[in-house]
Every structure is written in C-alpha cells, then in structure tokens.
Structure 1
C-alpha cells in the first residue's frame, strides 16, 4: 500500500515503461529486512525495445 498518490503513479508508470524489457514487480517484500521495494525490475537477457526508453545511443545491454 502506498502512502502518497504520486508513489502509486510512479509504480504504475515504471511498470508500464519496463514491462516490454523484462519482468516488473511492484511492492516486492524484502525477506532480510522489514521493508518493501517499490519496483523490482529484472531485464530480459537481450532487451529489444531499448529505443522506447531513449537508449538508442547506447550499446545493446
């Protein structure tokens, strides 16, 4: 649960932005801490849509 409306907006925005590039989870629990990660992103092994993020000038990840 987010405390601020902008937190929820940011999570939804990042999830939509990164979904085509890898696995995205919002509100992921951290086992070693009593905390929660807002956005957890694991990139695909060879992302193909990096130009959507403005990364066309960088080498392929």
Structure 2
C-alpha cells in the first residue's frame, strides 16, 4: 500500500477518466531508468469516449502524454 493515498487516488482517477478515449497504463516502468511513470496515456480515436467532457484533461489527452500527479496533498493555500 502506498504511503500517499491521494497519489494512488490520482493515478486511479486519471486511469478511469482517460480509459474511454485511449490506452492507459499506470505505474509503467521507464527503460534505462530506475523510475516509473505514474500514468502513461495514448489516445485511440476508435474508442467511444468524448474528450471534451473531460475539459482541460481532455485537451491534454489529445496526444500521447505522461501524467505525474503531485504526491503532496492540496492545501488551502
């Protein structure tokens, strides 16, 4: 289990939102690196989802993208 529950939530939320418009892989390993990508996304036009319904996220998902949610929780400031 992750120490940062909000980080895990963000990854799962992005995966759920983006899966209707493309291929999503959470925690994908980067070759040649000792790191992982939080969320890897590749759009698929044949899927039935509507990117416009996702607002800014839909705009970001018009092309292949890497999403790295901040692991710190949002504060009121």
Q: TM-score, normalised by structure 1?
A: 0.75
Does the alignment pair 1:22 with 2:1?
A: no
Q: Give the superposition deviation at 1:46.
A: 5.8
What's 2:68 paired with?
Answer: none
Q: CA deviation at 1:4?
A: 0.8
Q: Measured at CA, do residues 28 and 13 of structure 1 come closer, stay the same or move farther in structure 2, by a change above 3 Å?
A: same
1:52 is displaced (CA, Å) by 1.7
1:1-61 → structure 2 map (5 Å cutoff): 2-45=2-45, 48-54=49-55
Q: Using the alignment, how far apart are the partners of 1:33 and 1:3 within structure 2?
A: 22
Q: Across the two proteins, how many residue pairs are aligned to each other?
A: 57
Structure with greater helix percent:
1
What is the CA–CA distance in structure 2 between the aligned matches of 1:52 and 1:29, rounded to whole Å? Answer: 29
What TM-score, normalized to structure 2? 0.61
Larger strand proportion of the pair: 1
Instruction: For CA contacts below 8 A with separation 6 or more, give which structure has more relative contact order.
Output: 2
Unaligned runs of 5+ in 2: 63-77
